[in-house]
Structures are given as structure tokens and as C-alpha cells.
Structure 1
């Protein structure tokens, strides 16, 4: 029996042997994992906020409304682990720490900028579609 990570019938990635009904989609599992990480609200906000160049933790905290220190810390660690953000510690007292996008993070930011521009162009269309849908559902 084949071993690895597979997409189950419930469309979740599961490790282990292939079972009857499982779909072999190793690539889908990897893509899903990456999109789950970089597609999160806080990850996107950190990437966009760090796009202009090195930035300190407190500045990120000020720029990202509603993020807690704990969530910012976790998000930065995950983005660093994924190779999207680099962390530089300067030997000063107190230590100075800066975060910057890596090349991969900068590339992702370009796509996020395109997505943002698309959302801006189509926000009225989407709002109108939602309103029409809600009105049609309410009318029964």
C-alpha cells in the first residue's frame, strides 16, 4: 500500500497509507498548506506592512489594527519559518530586532498587490451582487 499524504474524501490532507476512496493529490495537500498559511488575515497584513523595507515589531504592531502581541509574534515566527520573512537581531542594549521580506516574500507581496487592486476595482460589483442575492433570498 502506498504511503504519503493524501487528500481524503472530506478534502483534508491526511498522512498514512492510501485507503479505498482516497484521492492521490499530494500537490493539492502542499498547496493547501501553503495557502492556509499565507492566506490568513494576519499573514497578509504583516507581508503588506513589511513590504516597504525592514520594520520593527512595535511598528508592525502599530500598523496592523486589532492584532495582539501574541498573534503578531506567532505570525512572524510562522512567516520566518516559511522563508517569507527574515529576522535580524542587532547587538545593542536593548536588542534591536527588524523584520524584512525575503525574495519569496517580496514576490508574494506583488501578487497580493494585484489581488488588492482587483478587489478595489470590483468592490462595487461585489457589493451590488451581494445586495441582489440577499434581496432575492429574502423575497423567497
Structure 2
């Protein structure tokens, strides 16, 4: 995977840079998803009970808000014209993993609250779709660098 990542990064084309950014995004998302599954399994086995509705709503809002902040920061990094295209694309891609990553981590932490966990997983899936589509819009051609 890393060999293909390096090849895509050195290709010098927008398509290669987009592939590299998508690989970086998926790698960063994997770094967030693996602990989420482990924490979720541990929480599920502990047999904790449901959360009160108010706490679940607050946590869902927190996940959405933090995901939105991750999106805005990633967009700012990816569109930074002062950085070379590869640096901007990879920085944005790594930060973009927080969009679905935050709800994933919270879903794992609150797995016994199945309603909240399900909502957070749906939020993470929507965040992933948004992130994947955003990379295509944000990655610019290395040839555009002056």
C-alpha cells in the first residue's frame, strides 16, 4: 500500500495526487476505526445500560459539531494556496478522516446505547461520503503550483 502511495504521490498529475490523498484518508480513517471497534467490543461486553435521552442528544450533537469542525479545518488545509499541491492534499486528507472518525469513536464508546450507536454510525457513514466527494473537489493539480 505504501509503495503505491509513494508512486501516486510522485506521479505529478492531479489523478495521482487524488489517489494518494484518498489512500492517506483511508489510512487515517483506519487508525480511528480500529480502536473504535475494540472499545465498542469492550463496552458491549461490560453490559452497561442505555443513556438518558438528553445525554444521547448532547452526544449526537457533539459528534456532529466536532465532525463539522474537522471538515472545515480539512477544507482550509486542502485549499491553502501557499502550500504545494501535495502538501495541501495530504494535510487535508489526514484531517478529513476526523469527519467520520469522531462519530465512529463515540459509537464505540457508547456501543451499549444501541440507538445512539446506530445514529452515530449513520452519521459516520454520511461523513465518509461527504469526505470522499470533497477530496475530488479539493485536490488541485501540481501543475497549478507556481
TM-score normalised over the length of structure 2: 0.24
TM-score normalised over the length of structure 1: 0.25
Whichever of the two has the greater Rg, that structure is 1
Say which structure, 1 or 2, has more relative contact order (CA 8 Å, 6+ apart).
2
